[in-house]
Structure 1
Amino acid sequence: MKKFIWFLPVLAVLATWLPNSDAVWKYLFFLRLPILMGLFLLLLPKLAKDWLPAMLKNLFVLRSKWQLAVVIVSAIGAGTSVISVAAIILDNAPARFGVPPTIEISEFWQYGIAIALSLYICIIAFDLSQEKLNNKERRWGAFVGAVLGIGLLFVISFIRDWLSSNAFLKKILANIVSFVGKHNTFGYINPQTGELSGGHLTAIAYLLIGVVIYITVGLRFNPKSETNRPEAPALLYVLLIISMVTLFYGGATFYFDYFRIPVLILFIAFSAISYIAFDVNHFFQINKFKDSEDKKRDNRDSTNFQELLEKRLQHQEGERTLVIICASGGGIQAAGWTV
């Protein structure tokens, strides 16, 4: 029962809003993606530590102080993407969708909420990493991660201000938005100034940073057949995906909701087309034994484990690696981890 006490304030807020429920439900609909992603950031550590530790706990067990630092930075980045999209919708939904104006979140509070959304992930990562790191390493990783995370927020503000002060780039961005949203630029272009309306430049600034980080991580930690190679923690990839999905799909919902087109349908269609176009299926040819001699030879070879290992490794050059998976069960869990 204690696990659901946090839900009581939500019920109280909903009860307070009921007299104006029409506008409230509209805003909840428009804000569905940042709300879901924000809840995911808040609930993921709880899932990993208490509810599904057998499957998710290792995400938060980091093996070096740098891994802890980059996870903290990426968590702050994920929180920033969520609140940036929410702020865009809150600021511009009245112009685009004709709903009543609501609260406006200042830049200071946006960054404060971003840090708050990331805080639980950072705390659980710091706590569970004690299995691999000593206290000095954990404190170092937490300090460096916090400094870099605050630095990320300043870089976002710097790039946004640079874009805002560059008349040429602002005109290009405004022209692109006007072309894409030619049926209705309300919510994108301020009719009084002819420039991008509130929040969009911040999202563009973070999108540029996020794409650079995503490509850099992909190139830097691309798997190679090397020993002792640096590895990025899996949680970093999870948080980067959350950031990119929130920005791209949050922008898509803000655009397509005007036309009453569900983004989920577009996502399913895109996935289906990609599945067909890129031929992701893998086929393996199985040859039947030609005669009994082949069967005898196979049976004879299977009794010599050393010979089987040599055959398995004979095509590898340099340092030879054999991977053996020992999966714990029940059966479904073992099968999942083995795959």
Structure 2
Amino acid sequence: MDIDRKKSTYLTLGILFMILLSLIRWGGETLQYLFYLRVPLISGALLFMLPIICIYLLPSMLGNLFVLKNKWRMSLVIPGAVATGLGIVIIGGIIGTNAAARFNVSPCPLLEALLQDDALTPYLFALILAFPTAWAAYWSSGPASKEMSNTDRKIGVAIGSILSLLLMGAIYWARTGETVSWVSDMLLMIISILPSEARAGLVKDDQLTPGLVTASAFLAVSTILYLIGLLLYRPKIKKDRWQLPALSYVLGLLLIFSFLFGLLTFVLDYYRVPVLLSFLAVSALAYKLWKVDHYYDIRPTPTEPPKPDDFIGALKERLAHQQGRRTLVVVCASGGGIQAAGWTSMVLTGLQKRLGKDFTQAIGLISSVSGGSVGTLHFLDRFGNEGAPEDSELNAIFNASTEDSLGATGWGLVYPDLWRFSGLPFLHTQPRDRGAAIETDWKSFMKSPNATLRDWVDPIKQGKLPVPVFNATIVEDGRHYLISPMTFATEPLEGLEFNRLYPQHDMDASTAALLSATFPYVTPITRNSEEDDSQSKVTPVFHVADGGFFDNFGIVSAVDWLNEQVLPKRVELEIERVLLVEIRAFPDEEPLQTASRKNVGFLMSLFGPLLTVLAARNSTQAQRNEDIVNDLKTKWTAKDIDIFDFKISFPKNIPFFEIPTQTGYENIDQYTTALKDEKKAYTPPLSWTLTKKQKDAIRNAWEILNQDQSSSVAELEKVWSRK
């Protein structure tokens, strides 16, 4: 650390110390008010700073939250932000107005005036808190993402403003309505149970203290809207389904947290009860008592699973269109969220357009991971009887793979998963959690949404479909988990596979993709639902996580299959060569030459071990996969089998989510100049939503590779053409 940095550090610490000292000396109660108001202060700061947190601090993970697809979504987000701001202000007003009576501190006139009868101040503060979110949504949905025209954005803002005024008017009017009177009476009855000294700040002269009536009105209106969201926006397998934007659910969670936790702190701080710790304890106890878990569905089936030797006949049928010595194509699709889903589908459909259907018909195996499994699911879903998708379906495959599914995840998080986490696991709805919700959404874009793994067995044996492997990871011991319609020759130490664990069971193909794509915290880790409690037979129970934890590239399954089940039968199959196509959703990274100066001190001391584990996982997988592919080539080249390896990675220097050069607002451009970076490295979204601009970036990336005569795609075409 240089001298200037030391000076600035000491100066900052000195300023913070002086501020703290002044707060303590100023009446001695300022810190107490800050403590009692901690929930609304934190919530208000989060709401006001939400665009900065999402767009500038965490752009790859949360930046797309503010990108809205149409004017109707815009019109719903704006009142959602206003409602969240209003809930925060109401709770802050209740605590600030009644803290003097409840906690025996000096009154604060500014806070006491906040919730006076007929006061419009809370609504003004709510608009101030909501403005950054509304503005960021308006800005992000225009030139920054190419989602909406200026006209549509303005219409959305106009409708959203009207809805916001109606919402605030409904709450203002509802304070005197019969429903609120009934709620107030119930609150008075509940509060009367408390000892007389504990009612301070809650009841005065047999009436609720200021703000609680307004809070009752707000709670009544919010509950109605919450139930409407539960019923109206429930994910369904429906082509023209209407989905709330994910940002609405984020705002909903923030509102629930601020409103309920704010009220609980106001009531329980009197008893010195730690609200958050108590809530977590109740949640953990509910999980324990009710044995709460997340499940995926498997169901009994009368059909027997395929045998490992069935691969031989299936491959013969699959490659029957090739005359003489044959070429087998094996595809490995890497993980990486919706970016991987889009890139996998773009490469597979792009190769068919460039090399013809006979190339797709030569694909014998697709080993996919995480987002690559979602792209594979939609690719296989539209296969025809010729062993490949029709050319008219190729664009639909890419569109299905890149459709927004984050809203469905938000619905599952705000409804069934929130109930479960809040100690109410006995409340049930369908879909049952956020994982099932996103799977339901994927099915909306499938041609055969109810297809199961066993449904794919006959088409595979007839050569109409390549063998898919949806790679996942067993949580309990970290082993490889292969989910496929076919049966592999894996040993227990090499990994587990679905057909061997559950030979008399089946699952939806979309469920297999979901298990492979259990992106951390976006979708929950799940266990199998079917459990036989008889003494004679117990169904094995394992929790399943994203396949990227074991192998994020899908290489291991493909190489094991070639080594153990296919190439030993090369003479019978008449296979002359193997083309291994690695679809990688991200640009290839060069080894670091030096570490960043930012990762020092507190960050490295606190998160260093975790950062090491994550970095070692990626580098270890890359090195291991490179070694086993080289060993495969060496082993079988010596036995007159040519093996070619093609890595089709997303190219570098593709513009993705960045601040536009011109926003169209000259007064704002001058402040964003410092944030512009025309040469900014590619930053993919790590969520399940893409903007139109990002979809265009994937298309443009493929065109760049397609036109580059030195690219891996061009090399693949040269080798493929030498039949």
Q: With the length of structure 2 as denominator, give the TM-score of the two structures.
A: 0.40
The more displaced of 239-248 and 254-263 is: 239-248
Give the number of the structure whose residues are more often helix, by fraction.
1
Name 1:81's counterpart in structure 2: 87
Name 2:447's counterpart in structure 1: 319
Name 2:131's counterpart in structure 1: 119
Matched, 1:72 2:78: yes
Contact 1:65 1:141 in 2 (8 A): yes
The alpha-carbon distance between structure 1 residues 47 and 165, as it changes in their structure 2 partners (threshold 3 A), is: closer
Aligned partners of 1:304, 1:186: CA distance in 2, in Å? 74
The more displaced of 321-330 and 23-32 is: 321-330
| Seq. identity, % | 27
Aligned partners of 1:120, 1:171: CA distance in 2, in Å? 37
Aligned partners of 2:153, 2:37: CA distance in 1, in Å? 36
Contact 2:44 2:88 in 1 (8 A): yes
> 341, 364, 374: which one pairs with 1:304?
364
The more displaced of 233-242 and 319-328 is: 319-328
1:50-101: CA deviation from partner (whole Å, max 9, x where unpaired)? 2211111111000011100110000000000111010000111111111111
1:211-238: CA deviation from partner (whole Å, max 9, x where unpaired)? 1111101211101111121110000011
Name 2:348's counterpart in structure 1: none
The alpha-carbon distance between structure 1 residues 147 and 246, as it changes in their structure 2 partners (threshold 3 A), is: same
Aligned partners of 1:242, 1:299: CA distance in 2, in Å? 56
Name 2:697's counterpart in structure 1: none
> 231, 234, 241: which one pairs with 2:246?
234
Paired residues for 1:147-162 under 5 Å: 147-162=162-177
Contact 1:34 1:86 in 2 (8 A): yes
> 42, 51, 61: which one pairs with 1:55?
61
The alpha-carbon distance between structure 1 residues 296 and 251, as it changes in their structure 2 partners (threshold 3 A), is: same
The alpha-carbon distance between structure 1 residues 305 and 228, as it changes in their structure 2 partners (threshold 3 A), is: farther
Contact 1:174 1:196 in 2 (8 A): yes
SS of equivalent residue, structure 2 residue 106: coil
Paired residues for 1:136-151 under 5 Å: 136-151=151-166
Q: With the length of structure 1 as denominator, give the TM-score of the two structures.
A: 0.82
1:149 CA displacement: 0.7
Contact 1:34 1:250 in 2 (8 A): yes
> 178, 181, 198: which one pairs with 1:184?
198
SS of equivalent residue, structure 2 residue 199: coil
1:298 CA displacement: 4.8
Count, aligned residues: 318
The alpha-carbon distance between structure 1 residues 124 and 213, as it changes in their structure 2 partners (threshold 3 A), is: same
Contact 1:66 1:141 in 2 (8 A): yes
Aligned partners of 1:233, 1:335: CA distance in 2, in Å? 16
The alpha-carbon distance between structure 1 residues 169 and 242, as it changes in their structure 2 partners (threshold 3 A), is: closer
Matched, 1:205 2:217: yes
1:266 CA displacement: 1.2
Name 2:483's counterpart in structure 1: none
1:327 CA displacement: 5.5
1:292-338: CA deviation from partner (whole Å, max 9, x where unpaired)? x93333576586359x979x869x99931487778658888999658
Q: What RMSD in Å do the two structures reach over aligned CA positions?
A: 3.6
Matched, 1:248 2:260: yes
Contact 1:210 1:244 in 2 (8 A): no
The alpha-carbon distance between structure 1 residues 281 and 134, as it changes in their structure 2 partners (threshold 3 A), is: closer
1:16-69: CA deviation from partner (whole Å, max 9, x where unpaired)? 644226301111111111111111101210122222111111110000111001
SS of equivalent residue, structure 2 residue 308: helix
> 168, 187, 205: which one pairs with 1:173?
187
Name 1:295's counterpart in structure 2: 308
1:243 CA displacement: 1.3
1:246 CA displacement: 1.3
Name 1:279's counterpart in structure 2: 292
1:109-128: CA deviation from partner (whole Å, max 9, x where unpaired)? 21111110000000000001
Contact 2:180 2:213 in 1 (8 A): no
Aligned partners of 1:80, 1:309: CA distance in 2, in Å? 43
Aligned partners of 1:80, 1:204: CA distance in 2, in Å? 13
SS of equivalent residue, structure 1 residue 304: strand
Which one has a bigger Cα radius of gyration? Answer: 2
The alpha-carbon distance between structure 1 residues 41 and 148, as it changes in their structure 2 partners (threshold 3 A), is: same
User: Runs of 5+ in structure 1 lacking a partner?
Assistant: 1-8, 286-292
SS of equivalent residue, structure 1 residue 280: coil
Contact 1:60 1:128 in 2 (8 A): yes
1:170 CA displacement: 4.2
Give the number of the structure whose residues are more often strand, by fraction.
2
The alpha-carbon distance between structure 1 residues 66 and 22, as it changes in their structure 2 partners (threshold 3 A), is: same
Contact 2:60 2:684 in 1 (8 A): no
Matched, 1:93 2:103: no
The alpha-carbon distance between structure 1 residues 334 and 59, as it changes in their structure 2 partners (threshold 3 A), is: closer
1:130-153: CA deviation from partner (whole Å, max 9, x where unpaired)? 121111110011111111112111
SS of equivalent residue, structure 1 residue 132: coil
Name 1:265's counterpart in structure 2: 277
Contact 2:180 2:216 in 1 (8 A): no
Aligned partners of 2:30, 2:190: CA distance in 1, in Å? 32
The alpha-carbon distance between structure 1 residues 182 and 159, as it changes in their structure 2 partners (threshold 3 A), is: same
**2:292 partner letter:** D
SS of equivalent residue, structure 1 residue 25: helix
Name 2:49's counterpart in structure 1: 43
The alpha-carbon distance between structure 1 residues 37 and 62, as it changes in their structure 2 partners (threshold 3 A), is: same
Aligned partners of 1:210, 1:238: CA distance in 2, in Å? 15
1:164 CA displacement: 9.9
Matched, 1:29 2:42: no
Contact 1:60 1:235 in 2 (8 A): yes
